[in-house]
């Protein structure tokens, strides 16, 4: 008892117990470290295996291999077991393993090319023979900026030609809907609105509204709509006022839109739908050899100054900027060669203002891109095409409306961009401009292919919605 009550002996016992406790604590911490490390590696491998391989080339393409390639290098060890090496490509799109399969309804010509005054040569013919070089022309002027459905339809028709190459195609038409990833509705809704919505002494009915109602009746009666709930259908409504009657009834579908400015979230939103570019009206700047010093105008805007809705900002900015040195801010329209004059002005400017008008987006942004004039975007509500894979910060400047309306803010912001930084943005504009080109025949990485690629990236959500819709199909039929 005397020895155990000795203070020296008690101190030794306490010290020994402390060492043992510390040793056990260290072992416990190390065991958890190895467990978490192992779990994290499994998560990384699980994450890598989730995306479909066909999505990866598109992500690499629009980022020109920079951002995604650097990320791939940093994770090289973690991804060593992954067979898909497409992220390592530098700016070149590898051929797709399988294009998006699209089933297109053979709707009556009155829904599409009949709106361009095309008439079939015989009964039963629905589509023009695009090999005969007699493709109906889309009307020019402001109509052209919302012509997305026209180019998508031509692209699907051309995919069926025997000589059609799949090397650059993001989508092909299939004749059996059971093979399709999505169902395309070939209704030229923007053209219908522009040509048939006006009621006057010549046209006493809103023919556009009637055509929308016929579209709803036709589409919702199809077997493909009934078994999917419509979520795998693709409908173009690029003009902000198109499909006003039909949009609610067809809202389960993927809409291809210019923006969401006139849509409630329950009908259209960035998760479900696709934002497509306007077709620019100015000529593309081919063989652009301009430079920072050869573009004398610092900041350019020409267009309608007094607009409704969010367009009040244009009026306020006009009074702030009209007397600034090296700033061009004037009223303009399509009349009196207004488009060609605007194109010349943009080519001679370092920065071009893109301000909200009646809607958050406008064709002016895509005119600026085609002119290699660095866009200055003033809008908090704008949604941009393919922004999930394209970083607009590399070739655009952004400002909030409240900032832009402060005296001197915009001028100081653009003046803060030096020569080398501007050259980098200008160079990036020239690299990405092809992604906004809409035309026929299509080219690798052009706007038509980018839109189909954006539709492809919606497929996981589409499949989930279709599966959910089909949950009770057996019990409902019994």
Q: Which residue has the tokens 């367009």?
A: 311
Distance in angstroms (rounded) separating the CA atoms of residues 155 and 169: 9
> 355 has which bridge partners?
378
Phi, psi of 378 (to 5 degrees): -115, 95
Residue with more model confidence, 392 or 33: 392
Please, are residues 238 and 190 in contact by the beta-carbon 8 Å criterion? yes
Per-residue pLDDT tens over the stretch 232-241: 999 999 999 9
Per-residue pLDDT tens over the stretch 380-394: 889 999 999 999 999
Cα 409 to chain centroid, rounded: 29
3-class secondary structure per residue, 421-443: HHHHHHHHHHHHHHHHCCCCCCC
Residue 216 has pLDDT above 60, yes or no: yes
Please, are residues 95 and 167 in contact by the beta-carbon 8 Å criterion? yes
Distance in angstroms (rounded) separating the CA atoms of residues 472 and 211: 33
Coil, helix or strand for 50? coil
Residue 202 confidence (pLDDT)? 80
Distance in angstroms (rounded) separating the CA atoms of residues 300 and 352: 5
Please, are residues 275 and 390 in contact by the beta-carbon 8 Å criterion? no
- Report the alpha-carbon angle 298-403-393, nearest 5: 65
Q: Residue 342: which of 377, 292, 304, 385 has the closest Cα?
A: 304
Residue 380 confidence (pLDDT)? 87
For residues 353-360, give the mean pLDDT.
83
Whether this prediction's pTM lies above 0.85 is answered by no
Rg of the chain (C-alpha set): 29
Per-residue pLDDT tens over the stretch 48-93: 333 333 333 333 333 333 333 343 444 333 333 333 333 333 334 4
Helix 148-158 and helix 189-196, axial crossing angle in degrees, nearest 10: 140
User: E strands within 6-164?
Assistant: 100-104
Q: Residue 359: which of 266, 242, 274, 447 has the closest Cα?
A: 242
């Amino acid at each position: 008892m005397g020895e155990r009550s000795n203070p020296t002996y008690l101190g030794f016992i306490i010290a020994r117990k402390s060492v043992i406790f510390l040793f056990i604590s260290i072992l416990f911490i190390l065991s958890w470290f190895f467990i978490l490390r192992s779990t994290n590696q499994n998560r990384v491998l699980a994450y890598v295996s989730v995306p479909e391989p066909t999505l990866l080339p598109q992500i690499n393409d629009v980022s020109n291999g920079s951002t995604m390639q650097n990320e791939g290098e940093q994770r090289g060890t973690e991804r060593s077991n992954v067979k898909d090496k497409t992220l390592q490509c530098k700016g070149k799109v590898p051929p797709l393993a399988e294009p998006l399969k699209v089933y297109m309804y053979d709707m009556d010509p009155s829904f599409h090319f009949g709106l361009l005054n095309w008439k079939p040569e015989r009964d039963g013919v629905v589509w023009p023979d695009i090999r005969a070089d007699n493709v109906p022309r889309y009307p020019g002027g402001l109509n052209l900026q919302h012509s997305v459905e026209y180019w998508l339809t031509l692209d699907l028709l051309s995919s069926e030609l025997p000589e059609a190459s799949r090397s650059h195609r993001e989508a092909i038409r299939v004749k059996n809907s059971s093979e399709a990833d999505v169902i395309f509705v070939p209704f030229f809704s923007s053209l219908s609105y522009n040509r048939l919505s006006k009621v006057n002494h010549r046209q006493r009915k809103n023919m556009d509204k009637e055509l929308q109602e016929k579209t709803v009746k036709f589409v919702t009666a199809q077997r493909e709509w009934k078994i999917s709930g419509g979520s795998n259908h693709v409908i173009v409504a690029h003009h902000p006022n198109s499909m006003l009657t039909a949009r609610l009834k067809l809202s389960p579908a993927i809409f291809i839109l210019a923006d969401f400015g006139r849509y409630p979230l329950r009908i259209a939103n960035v998760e479900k739908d696709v934002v497509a570019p306007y077709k620019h009206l100015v000529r593309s700047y081919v063989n652009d050899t301009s430079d920072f010093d050869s573009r004398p105008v610092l900041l350019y805007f020409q267009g309608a100054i007094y607009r409704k809705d969010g367009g009040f900002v244009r009026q306020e900015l006009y009074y702030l900027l009209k007397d600034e040195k090296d700033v061009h801010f004037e009223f303009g329209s399509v009349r009196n060669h207004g488009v060609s004059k605007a194109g010349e002005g943009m080519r001679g400017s370092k920065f071009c203002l893109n301000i909200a008008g009646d809607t958050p987006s406008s064709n002016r942004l895509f005119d600026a891109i085609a002119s290699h004039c660095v866009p200055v975007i003033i809008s908090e509500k704008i949604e941009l095409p393919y922004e999930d894979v394209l970083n607009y910060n590399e070739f655009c400047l952004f400002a909030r409306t409240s900032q832009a309306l402060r005296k001197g803010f915009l001028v100081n912001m653009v003046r803060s961009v030096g020569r080398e930084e501007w050259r980098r943005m200008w160079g990036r504009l020239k690299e990405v401009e092809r992604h906004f080109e809409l035309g026929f025949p299509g080219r690798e990485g052009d706007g038509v292919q980018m839109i189909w690629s954006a539709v492809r990236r919606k497929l996981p959500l589409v499949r989930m919605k279709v599966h959910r819709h089909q949950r009770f199909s057996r019990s409902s039929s019994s």
